Amino acid sequence: MAPHSPGTDQIDTLLWIGFVAAVIVVVAINVALIYAVRRFRAERGVTPREGRDDRRGQLRVGAVLTAFAAVVFVLSIVLTDKARETPSTGSAGLASLKSEPLTIKATGQQWLWRYDYPNGAFSYYKLVVPVDTAVKLELVSTDVVHTWDVPDLVGKRDAVPGKVNDVVFLADDEGSYGGNSATLSGQAYASMRTEVEAVSPDEYEAWAEQQKSDIESAQDRVVGLIEGGEVP
């Protein structure tokens, strides 16, 4: 995971806390086991010494484990308290938006994603967004449940038929972030990938305008063909 948004930084931190805690536990258990085996080992034919009831030892181990669990718990909460916070557009983001996030509709359909932008442009597979800008995706589906999942930017969210689910994210760096389908949505769900391309606000606006005029001229051409009788 290579986090590129304020929230995913903290999800990444949580992952590391869990990993380090697991390593500490595994190492401690093995060290204690090896110590016990060596300490109570005996010669062949000799009955080994038995460990005696040791209430104070048990209490000490219990106290250490409790303290360890408390430290992990407190660290996890302190270091990740902003993981679910909704980001807001920064100084390098799209200035025309003021406090509102840029709202884009994302439609899941078997087996691709369609994105509808505020100016009427749309795109398939690739979502283009301005960098350092809060983007609100309104997730819908035309058929079955799909899951939009771009782990570097935000936690995954479902697109459910008949419902609108929001997910807000902010890309803190220009670049391309990949996403996979995270819920089985039929035979070709594995190829239902997506890509988020974060570009500068100027590039975003230029792209959206270009995309819109490309779509319109293509539609005009089709209408012309139909009216000219070339397409039945």
Residues of this chain that interact with Cu ion (CB under 5 A) are 146, 181, 185, 189, 192
Cβ closer to Cu ion: 110 or 211? 110
Cβ closer to Cu ion: 161 or 224? 161
With 0-12 / 13-18 / 19 or more C-beta atoms within 10 angstroms meaning exposed / middle / buried, residue 70 is exposed
Q: What is the phi/psi pair of residue 120, to 5°? A: 100, -10
- At its nearest, how many Å lie between Cu ion and the CB of residue 166? 18
- At its nearest, how many Å lie between Cu ion and the CB of residue 35? 52
Strand partners, 180: 149
Distance between CA atoms of 217 and 162, rounded to whole angstroms? 32
- At its nearest, how many Å lie between Cu ion and the CB of residue 135? 20
Give the CB-nearest residue to Cu ion: 185
- At its nearest, how many Å lie between Cu ion and the CB of residue 188? 9
**Angle at CA of residue 190, ends 155 and 157, nearest 5°:** 20
Coil/strand/helix, residue 173: coil
Question: Within its chain, how far is the Cα of 154 from the centroid?
Answer: 4
Cβ closer to Cu ion: 105 or 212? 105
Cβ closer to Cu ion: 101 or 179? 179
Cβ closer to Cu ion: 5 or 185? 185
- At its nearest, how many Å lie between Cu ion and the CB of residue 215? 24
Distance between CA atoms of 98 and 101, rounded to whole angstroms? 8
